[in-house]
Chains A and B, each alone.
Chain A
Amino acid sequence: MPTAPLTRTVPWAAVTRRGVLGWIGPGLLVLALLFPAAAGAFYLRLAIEALLLGAIALSVDILLGFAGLLSLGQAMYFGLAAYLTALCYLHLTQSFWLVAAIVIAAVALVAVLLGAVAIRAKGVYFALITFGAAEIAGKVVHNTRALGGSDGLIGIPVPSIGLPGFALPLRNDLVFYYVVLVAVTLAFIGVRRLLATPFGSVLSAIRDNAIRVPYLGYNPFWYKLVAYLIAAEVAALGGLFYPLLRGFVGPDLFGFDISTQSVVMALVGGIGTLIGPLVGGVVVTLLQSVLGSYTERHLFVLGLVFILFVRFLPGGLFGLLRRDEPP
């Protein structure tokens, strides 16, 4: 990865600045709201998948674009959330809210424990720890008969989301699409708000020059840990819905393929932009799907896309729109 272009981008200013970027978000949301009117069942489900994978890319961006931490294991929280969700609906409850609460709490616990270890490491060592932890988690699931082993868990019932006075049946793809769109949009707005703060500005400082930060009176540990925790929860959002889209979960949800794919999505959209990774999620998911129908070697194409962006457009699609001025 070329560090120079990635560290010269503009983190929190990009999320507070009005202007071109300020209008693109609402514009894309309108398109997304109208999308089901134009799309058939296949593309509607593909769009749901794109949004859920985009959430992992968003979580990569929180770490890489703001705290300067490259995680190669964000799929761990996606997989963890997906398995917990599946287990809860299979054995425990049909209440969406209870399952969501369990997933949020469990992911927070794991993220704080693993994060406290991982963020002490710098650069490539952080990437290796996150990668290793995700691989271990995947292998443990793979070898645990109670979790379905290599077959995973199948036949996950699809719940309805209970709200005061009515319920949203996720079995209906149109309802499912809008629920996921709202959830991902709220996560995006929440993350953007959270980073347009002194907290976010200190993360930018850590990314730029971590060694200098303590001498200003900030303890970088807590800032990085909170960023890591938020990123884990955002990745878990994808895992909270993914089993309901597919009806099954497998150990590959923890895998390196999903972790690296989300890094590519973030890079394609634009690291440090927050909205870019969501768009990157759509672009890459669509690309994978279209290519997948022609060739089995779509990962090869993904790698090529990655190389081309790193070489020619390291700021990603949204990097083109952003004026390059520092905060």
Chain B
Amino acid sequence: MIEVRGLCKSFGALHAVSDLEFTAPEGRITSIIGPNGAGKSTLFNLIAGTLAPDAGRIVLGGRDVTGLPAYELARLGLARSFQITNLFFGLSALENVRLAAQAHEARRRFFSRLERLAAPAERARAVLAEFGIAELAGEPVANLSHGDQRRLEIAVCMASRPRVLLLDEPTQGMSPAETLAIDQLIKSLTGRVTVLMVEHDVDLVMSISDQVIVMHQGQKLFAGPPDQARNSSAVRGAYLGADHAAA
């Protein structure tokens, strides 16, 4: 599980994230929603080690990981996907997943012969099969469809057997049918990994999340189960304006 305590980050006069607190419970799906500029991406970058916070703490599985670099966090079991597909486009789908598995399965065997290191390759094939893209193993990622690339992005994350998975708009740019499939896929991760997800598709969020956190202007507006979020007047206010909140 992951805990955020009093987290603050400012860019000049802009308080992108201010005094944010929440806990993403073990093995559950926690979604962060909020209008554009609410600070969701900054929050993700703080948790994943891309940015360092001005104040506050991030606790991963009981350990204070505030300010650790991204590669340390990854070794501690944090995996993240990216809003804009971020893969090794010149390498094959299999090699993308294999590299992630290798970091976990063969960390201290830098100079072993690759063909003798079976574990990462086996793990990679198993993950590709689980994500339904086994037949694309040999394809360069650049040749994959957008939907398959988004799928691979999550597969790469899961290959390292993470404890916490950060998904940054996993269905960005996908068709409704593809979105539904990714939906099911993320739901199937429940119990195996703690998921923290930023998502614009509110229907998706409401249908698969165990907890919804609503952010507005860098602050937490609401945290609770999805059905309560739907009915919260504060949430409506943030999304639709103050008039609707009063109604």
Binding site for B on A (CB under 8 A): 7-8, 12, 16, 193-194, 196-202, 204-205, 207-209, 211-220, 325-327
Contacts and interface: CB of A to CB of B under 8 A. Distances in A.
Interface in B191-224: none
A223 to B, nearest CB: 9
A8 B91 CA distance: 8
B91 A204 contact: yes
B13 interface: no
Nearest to B94: A327
B1 interface: no
Given A196-B114, A197-B111, A326 B69 contact: no
Nearest to B48: A215
B80 interface: yes
A219 B70 CA distance: 9
A217 B114 contact: no
B114 A218 contact: no
B5 interface: no
A208 B86 contact: no
A252 B87 CA distance: 43
Interface string B78-92: 011000001111111
Nearest to B156: A216
Nearest to A15: B114
Contacts of B75: 217
A206 B80 CA distance: 18
B112 interface: yes
Interface stretch (B22-30, B57-65, B98-106, B170-178): B98-106
Contacts of B70: 214-215
Contact of A205 (B48, B88, B109, B115): B88
Interface in B89-139: 89-92, 95, 98-100, 102-104, 106-107, 109-115, 117, 120, 138
Nearest to A200: B114
Given A193-B113, A326-B95, 18 more contacts: A12-B114, A196-B113, A196-B114, A197-B112, A197-B113, A201-B95, A201-B99, A201-B114, A202-B99, A205-B99, A209-B89, A211-B86, A212-B88, A216-B156, A217-B160, A219-B69, A219-B71, A326-B90
Given A201-B95, A205-B99, A218-B103, A7 B90 contact: yes
Contacts of A205: 88, 91, 99
Q: Looking at B69, B99, B120, which has the most chain A CB atoms within 10 Å of its CB?
A: B99
A213 B111 CA distance: 18
A213 B91 CA distance: 13
Nearest to A194: B111
Contacts of B56: none
Contacts of B138: 325-326
B140 interface: yes
A209 B90 CA distance: 9
10 contacts: A197-B112, A205-B88, A208-B89, A209-B87, A215-B74, A215-B80, A218-B103, A325-B92, A326-B95, A326-B138
Among B87, B109, B110, the most chain A Cβ lie within 10 Å of the Cβ of B110
B67 to A, nearest CB: 14
Contact of A216 (B69, B74, B89, B111): B74
B110 to A, nearest CB: 4
Contact of B87 (A12, A16, A212, A219): A212
Contacts of B100: 216-217
A252 B93 CA distance: 46
Contacts of A201: 95, 98-99, 102, 114
Nearest to A206: B88
Contacts of A327: 91-92, 95
B106 A326 contact: no
Max count, chain B CB within 10 A of own CB: residue among A16, A213, A215: A215
Given A194-B111, A209-B87, A216 B92 contact: no
A269 B144 CA distance: 31
Contact of B104 (A193, A200, A217, A220): A217
Nearest to B110: A199
Contacts of B88: 204-205, 208-209, 212
B109 A208 contact: no
B149 to A, nearest CB: 13
